Structure formats: C-alpha cells, structure tokens
Structure 1
Amino acid sequence: MLPQSSILSFIHDTQFNDLPLDVVAMAERCCLDLIGVTVAGRHTDLAQIITEHAALFFAGNKEISAIPFSGETASPVGAALAMGMTIDAFDAHDGHRLTKGHAGAAIFPALLAYSYCLAGNKNKIDGCEFLTALIIGYEVSLRAGIALHATACDYHTSGAWNAIGAAAMGARLLKLSPEKTKHALGIAEYHGPRSQMMRCIDHPTMLKDGSGWGAMSGVSAAYLSRSGFTGAPAITLEGDDCAIYWQSLGQDWEVLAQYFKPYPVCRWAQPAIQAISDLMKKQPIDYQKIEAIEIRTFHEGVCLAGYNPQTTEEAQYAIAFPVAALIVRGTLGAKEIAPETLNDSIILALAQKIILSEGKEYNDLFPGERWADVTIKFNDGKKISTPATCPIGDPENPLTDDNILTKFYTLCRGSLHKKTADNIVKSVKELKSETNALSCLLELLKHPVSPKECQHKISD
C-alpha cells in the first residue's frame, strides 16, 4: 500500500520543476478549454440562477472571490459553486473515461476561488504554482474517482470525487499541516455529493454532474479544516481496497488521459455524432430522403435517448436530437442545443426516425472505450453504414492545439472582445514563464460576459 504520507507529500511537496513537460502542457490546454466553456455556459439560465444564488446567499466578508465573467463576487465557497455549475451548464468540458466524469469542472473553479482570495489577502501565488496546484487537483480527483467507482455500489456524479481534489489544492495553497490536510480530504469526501448519475441521465435537469457542489464541498472542506473542523479519514485514499489506485501517484499521470469534447453534449453521444460527422465529410446527406437511422452503441449511450428535449439540459444529455440537428444543420454547436432550437420541427421529425440499440461488443469495452456505428436507410431503399467509430478528442486521437484554440475562440464569439480573448490566450501561455501572467489572467476573467456591449466581437 502507498503510505498515506506519500499522498500528503505529493500534495504539499510537489514542485513545478518536478512536473513533466507534457503534463504542464496538458494543464495549459485544460485551462484554456475550461475558460472557453465558462464563457459559453454564462449564457444559460442555469448559470444566471446559480450566480445570483451564490452572490446573495454565499456573500463574502473577509474572504472574497470573483465569480468569473459575471461581474459578481462571493465567498470562495460560493464562487466555486457558481463557476463549477456554469461550466457544467454547457457540456463541452474535458473529461476522463475511467472516472466516467469530469475533474476540471470542479477543480478549476476551486483553484480560481482560492487564487482570488489569496490575491485579495496579499498572499498571491504565481503561474507556476497555479499550474502545479491544478495538476495536483486533477491527479487526486481522478484517482479518487477511479477508486470510488471500483468500490461503491452505485454510479455517482463527478462531484462525489472531484471535491477531494478541490480540497487537496486548498490544503496546499492554505498551507495546512499534514494532519489538517487529512481532515480536509475526509471532509470533502464525506460532504461531496454522492448523487446518482443515471438519475440525471433519465431525468435531465439543472442538477447536471454535481461538479458545482463538488467544488463548493472541496473549498469548504479546506477552510473548515483550517479552522479546526475534523473529518478524517478519506476512505477512497486510505482504504486498503483503494491502495492500488494510488501506487503510481507522481509517476504515472492521469491528467494525460483527459479527453476534450468537440461538441457540447454528453460524451456518451459523441461516438455516434462522430460517425455521422465523418460520413458527412465524405458525401452529402439529404435529410429529406432519410427513412430511418439506426445507431448501435453501448448501454449508457442508449439511455441518453432524447427524442424531444424540452430544455437545453435535456438536449445535452441526449443522443437522438443532437444527431438529427447535426444532419439537418450540418453543424453541432451552442445554437443547436439552445432553447430556441428545441422546437425545430424538421430536427424533431428526423429525431423520431432514429432507432437506438446496444452492441454487446461496445458494452464490453465501456468505460475504457466508447464506440458506435450508424446505418442510414433512405426512402429509395439505399443504405449507407459507418464503421465502428470512437470520438475524436481521446488521448489516442486527440484534438490538436489548434483545435483547442479554435474551439476557445468559437465559444467566446459574440461574448468577449477580441482583444480580451487574445489576452486570455496569451496569459495562459505565459503562466509558466511570466511573473505577472496569473495576475493578468485573474483580471481578465473578471470581465463580464455581455454580448450587447461587445462592439468589436470575434468575427464569424
């Protein structure tokens, strides 16, 4: 078993120069991608409601953090909650296959909340420490998630385990003692939302993947422990049956197994979407001539269904509607899952022609791999079929840096001035080399997203 002291040492003693270059590069990619998703998420009703809630009911006093892109402030606990749910509101953030969920949606908001608070108390950190803490947050979260899925009887949302990574970062940045760090991790694990993920799949609402509550729980845990609140042990870190998941901590890097989404919908839908997208690049598809679309994928993907979504949350946790929208409109972005699109009669009619079924071979590969194949039948009797397809963005077929950059600018289009977006990109790139890069980034993220005021928008 890896001694618990080794986990604590990883949290507190890891230095930026200890980190492999590819791990640092992945952290930079995650930063930029998550910032873009936050901008897009800011336009949702979910984000508006949770931000008002955080500003009103989690107002800060001595400890205050900005809620990015909102113009509002809250306590670090409230700011983490608001940003975590804002990212979760737009399902385009990074993820990890073995955890069946998302670390960044909680730990990035938590890290920003700590950073704003430290800066306000004249105890600011630099970009290298910011990236180091982010990587520690990812590694602790992802291993806790793998351990939880291996030992728990139910499938819990990401908030159940990414709360632990949020607390780990707080323990480091607040310079908690080893004993208080143990309690912070235990508090976060105990208070983390062990919410049932398949409930949200079956009944999609604003509850989403629990990451906002995970961020809130983790940040709260760190501050509670600093005040003397006790909560150890964290069994996903200390339990004998979980030891195997921590043995390579600091040697093998789970953050390198992150995937990035090209489409703002559940990753489980994306193998089928990718298959259709690949097919459309080879030949035009006239939706008016389609008789039926047969999609074979794994069980959890079939559970998405989503023939007639009533909200953007239902559209994001769907497979039929996004596939139909892609075929009809030729693209699948924010507009295709926006509320005003959900009554598009053409898309809805095509969605009704989609038949979903499970492929045993795909069930056997899940969650380590996600696959689908599609057959389209036309009214004249012709058929076209795709090969078994997995989505781009996985570690084996990653999005390029240019893809990530394009995605970022696309998500910011119409919401941020071009100069603001450019400076965010510049600041993220300079985190590891420029002393003031993090301070500049934190200021840039305070810029309210307000499309009506953008006179020099990123061009279409």
Structure 2
Amino acid sequence: MSAPAEAPAGPESGTDPRQDAAGSGALEAITAFQAEFSDFGALPATVRHQTRRCLTDLIGVAAAGSRTTLGAIIAAHAADQFAAGARPASILFDPHGRKASAAGAALAGGMTIDAIDAHDGHPLTKGHAGCGLFPALLALAETEAPDMPLEAFLGHLAVGYEIAIRCGIALHATAPDYHTSGAWIAVGIAATGAPILKLDRGAMRHAMGIAEYHGPRSQMMRCIDHPTMVKDGSGWGAMAGVSALMLARSGFTGAPALTIEDPAVADLFTDLGTHWRIGEQYFKPWPVCRWTQPAVEAAFALRRDHALDPADIAAIRVRTFHEATRLAARRPADTEQAQYSLPFPMAAMLVHGRLGVAEISGTGLADAAVLDLAGRIELIGDARFDAVFPAERWAEVEIDQRDGRTIRSAPLTARGDADAPLSDDEITAKYRALMGEAGHADRAGPIERMVMAPGTATVRDLIALVSA
C-alpha cells in the first residue's frame, strides 16, 4: 500500500487556501497515518489478525448473499447498467461471471454482502464499514493494480476500517438523522482508495468531499419499520465512494468533507495509529440484525439450560432498547423482513435450536411452528437499556410455560462484541457454513488459507476465487 503523494499548494492541486486549521490537521493526520502504515507488516500483530478475520467473514457473507433474490437482481443491474469498459471489475460470486465498472462492481458487492445481515460492524457507528470497503477496494485494486500483493490489499483494508469508522462516528455526531452506513462508508472509501489511484492530497480531499455530498444519507429507521431490499445503503455508498475517486482524478471538485474537516469532529482523527478502532468490531453469530441478537442469545441460553420444549411455551416477553422493539415483524413475507425482525428469528432459535440462512429465507419463512411461536412474543422497551444504546445493546427474556412456571434470562448482550469476542474457530465455522450453504464449499479452504496466513498471493489470485 502506498501513501498519497504530497501536492504543491494552490488551486491546481485542489488545495483550498481557505481550509481552516482544524480541517488541515485532520487531513494531515490521515495522510500521515497512511504513510506510516503503508506496509501491512508495520501494523500491530493484533490489527493484522483482526483484518484477516474481517475479510474472511465478509467473503462468507458475500457468498451467501449472492444466492438471494437481492443478490441476483443487483448483479444483473450492475452488469447491465454499469458497463465494464476498458477496465472491468468482477462481480462478487456472480454465477454468470459478469463484470462491470469499478463503481458497478462496488455497488453489487456492497449490496450482496448486505443481502445477508451477518457481516461485522462497529457499535458507535450503528453500522458496518467492511461490507462497503471490501468490494470497493477490491474493484479498485482489480482495475488499477491487479498484481498488488494480497498483503498490501489487506493493508488498505485495515487502514480503511480506521478511517471509515471515524467518519461514521463523526457523521452520527453532527447529523440529526439516523442515516444508513452508506453515507459515511463513501467518505472512507474515497480516503482509502486515493493511494490505490495515486491521487495527491488535494485530489483526495476533493474525492472525500464529493463522496460525502453524494453519499446516501438514507433513513435507517424507515428500513427498520418497513424492511425491504434497500437495507443499509452500503452498496450505494461503495458506488459513491468509487465514483468520487474517479471524478476527483479527472479534476472534479467537491471539497471539503465536513465529516473530516468540521472542527467539531477533528479530534476523532488525532489518535489514528494509536487507538485501533478495528479492534472494537463485533462479529455476528447469526444472520439477522444486531439489535435482535441479545434476545436471540437469551433464547438460546434458556433453551439450552432448561431443556425447553417450544410446545410448552405459553408466552414470551422481551425487554430491550427502544430501537430493537421496532423490529416487530412476526410473519415476514421475505428474508429482508425476517432479518429485520426480532420475534421471528428468536422463535426460530427456540424451535430449531439454531439460526442460519435456511431459517430466515425460503421455506423457513413458512415454518408453522415458528410462526405460531413468533405470534406469542411481546416486545417491551426498557429505559435501562435505552440509556446505554448504541455503545451497548441489551435484552432480557421471560418465558411463561403452560404449566404456570416462568423462566427468566439474565440481562444479556450478544456474543461477538469486543468484550465477548467470537473465537477464530467460531468465525471459521460460520464462514465455512455460509460458503457451504452457497454451494462454494470447495473454495472455502483455499480462500481461508490465502487470507488467514501470510503468503505470496495477489489480488488477482483472490479475485479468481471470489468471482465466477
């Protein structure tokens, strides 16, 4: 990974002499961070390992997402509407082997990963950096530097997490609406992709400004209340970030990005390289909204500890934070509604003792026992849990049995948070299960070995395994 070259001052390089000191400091911090950690080997060992875990997890989720209706629609759309041109980029796990422009491949990849809500995230952003970063950076690397060592690509990804997460925290701190991840992913991609395109700092600044202006600041709670395929805006953010880079390279202007240059958030970027936000990432055990997972965790524990028979359940009460109570669909019509539901996946866990893609898609949506139990689940807002959201997400569950007994869980958070992380073995098992369900069990081992261990592989080698 190479750092963006310093540009001479002046309008030709895109440097605005009116830029304030705070904004300048944030830009200096970002460029210095990119320069210091231009070599993947310069990153702390814990960061390198976490980056490998993130990429493995994202690839498994992408494989599963490619099998959904959403994945099929967006792959066809990208191939039809985003012509590949002279520099084609592969569409992740597209069964037809189609290609698109870098922006189109980023769009398809981000939405394909978002199609199965099992990817990693960061609590303070209330969203997900990796699902947009990975396909965008991969498309840029394939079109600009396909022989880039995979270790260098991992370096770009690690740096991207650090910048994008801070952009997400900054945007949530300064915007009054609860927007989707695509809004700030776009800015992070513009910053992180600049070295791949060899943009100077002035052009990078304009790319970040373009990405912020055109990033999808869409309404997350609308999708919570009315779940559809629009999901978390990650694909649109990935497309906006890649397009912003291409435009800035051609001389298009758009600076400043207030997410970075607003003095109110400048301090967020001063600890780059000393405070590693990627270590705060959570990994999901199950393919549903993170807000659902504390309740699912509690249901799993009660079923295990009490040898609970779902037929013996009369009623269930879930106390949790307000936002989670809005995940209220009890009879989901499609996998999107099932993934943004609390009662349905919780009921599936109680009925089947597991929660995978099969339980929240296809024939799993018509499971009579699950539907019946989901109808007996009451969601109750709890001020205790509201007070610590979004940094922490809690739930507790009470189950009334038909014999008159009531069993209760302790208040729980979901496994996979930084303070209760999934082990490497758990992430590997999840990845292999997703690859197998998607029909790619034969690729699981080669990809895992390539990503998780140092080697001589290149971006081209990885693309051969994650495309047709």
Bin the TM-score by the shorter chain.
Answer: over 0.9
Runs of 4+ in 1 over 3 A off after TM superposition: 414-419
Partner of 1:401: 424
Partner of 2:325: 302
**Distance in 1 separating the partners of 2:165 and 2:443:** 32
Distance 1:209 1:409, change over 3 A: same
Pick from 384, 405, 409 the counterpart of residue 386 of structure 1. Answer: 409
Cα-to-partner distance string for 1:313-368 (whole Å, 9 max, x where unaligned) = 00000000111111111211101100322222221111111011011110001111
**Distance in 2 separating the partners of 1:376 and 1:260:** 27
User: Is residue 245 of structure 2 the alignment partner of residue 222 of structure 1?
Assistant: yes
Partner of 1:51: 75
Deviation at 1:213, TM superposition (A): 0.3
Partner of 1:454: none
Partner of 2:102: 76
Pick from 141, 144, 152 the counterpart of residue 118 of structure 1. Answer: 144
SS in 1 for 2:438: coil
Cα-to-partner distance string for 1:169-188 (whole Å, 9 max, x where unaligned) = 22011110110010011111
Deviation at 1:134, TM superposition (A): 0.3
Amino acid at match of 2:261: E
Partner of 1:421: 444
Deviation at 1:308, TM superposition (A): 1.3
User: Is residue 38 of structure 2 the alignment partner of residue 17 of structure 1?
Assistant: no
**Distance in 2 separating the partners of 1:169 and 1:3:** 14
**Distance in 2 separating the partners of 1:384 and 1:244:** 47
Partner of 1:453: none
Once the two structures are superposed, the pairs formed by residues 363-382 of structure 1 within 5 Å of their partners are 363-382=386-405
Pick from 457, 460, 467 the counterpart of residue 436 of structure 1. Answer: 457
Q: 2:148, 2:458 within 8 Å by CA — same for their partners in 1?
A: no
Amino acid at match of 1:436: A
**Distance in 2 separating the partners of 1:13 and 1:87:** 31
User: Is residue 67 of structure 2 the alignment partner of residue 32 of structure 1?
Assistant: no
Count, aligned residues: 442
Cα-to-partner distance string for 1:29-49 (whole Å, 9 max, x where unaligned) = 000000000010011100100
Deviation at 1:3, TM superposition (A): 4.2
Once the two structures are superposed, the pairs formed by residues 29-428 of structure 1 within 5 Å of their partners are 29-70=53-94, 71-119=97-145, 124-428=147-451
Deviation at 1:436, TM superposition (A): 2.5
Amino acid at match of 1:43: R
Q: CA RMSD in A?
A: 1.3
Report % sequence identity.
50
TM-score (norm 1): 0.94
**Distance in 2 separating the partners of 1:327 and 1:131:** 39
Q: 1:136, 1:165 within 8 Å by CA — same for their partners in 2?
A: no
TM-score (norm 2): 0.92
Cα-to-partner distance string for 1:179-201 (whole Å, 9 max, x where unaligned) = 00100111111111000100000
Amino acid at match of 1:186: G
**Distance in 1 separating the partners of 2:438 and 2:420:** 30
Q: 1:118, 1:125 within 8 Å by CA — same for their partners in 2?
A: no
Deviation at 1:379, TM superposition (A): 1.3
Moved more, 280-289 or 88-97: 280-289
Deviation at 1:371, TM superposition (A): 0.6
Deviation at 1:419, TM superposition (A): 3.6
Q: Which runs of 5+ in 2 are unaligned?
A: 1-21
Deviation at 1:282, TM superposition (A): 1.4
Partner of 2:16: none
Cα-to-partner distance string for 1:110-161 (whole Å, 9 max, x where unaligned) = 11101211245xxx31122101110111111100100111111100000010
**Distance in 2 separating the partners of 1:389 and 1:12:** 41
SS in 2 for 1:374: strand
Deviation at 1:420, TM superposition (A): 1.8
**Distance in 1 separating the partners of 2:380 and 2:440:** 45
Moved more, 417-426 or 272-281: 417-426
Deviation at 1:437, TM superposition (A): 4.6
**Distance in 2 separating the partners of 1:205 and 1:416:** 25
Q: 1:427, 1:437 within 8 Å by CA — same for their partners in 2?
A: no
Q: 2:52, 2:451 within 8 Å by CA — same for their partners in 1?
A: yes
Partner of 2:467: 446
SS in 1 for 2:396: strand
Q: 2:29, 2:270 within 8 Å by CA — same for their partners in 1?
A: no
Deviation at 1:6, TM superposition (A): 1.9
Distance 1:295 1:3, change over 3 A: closer
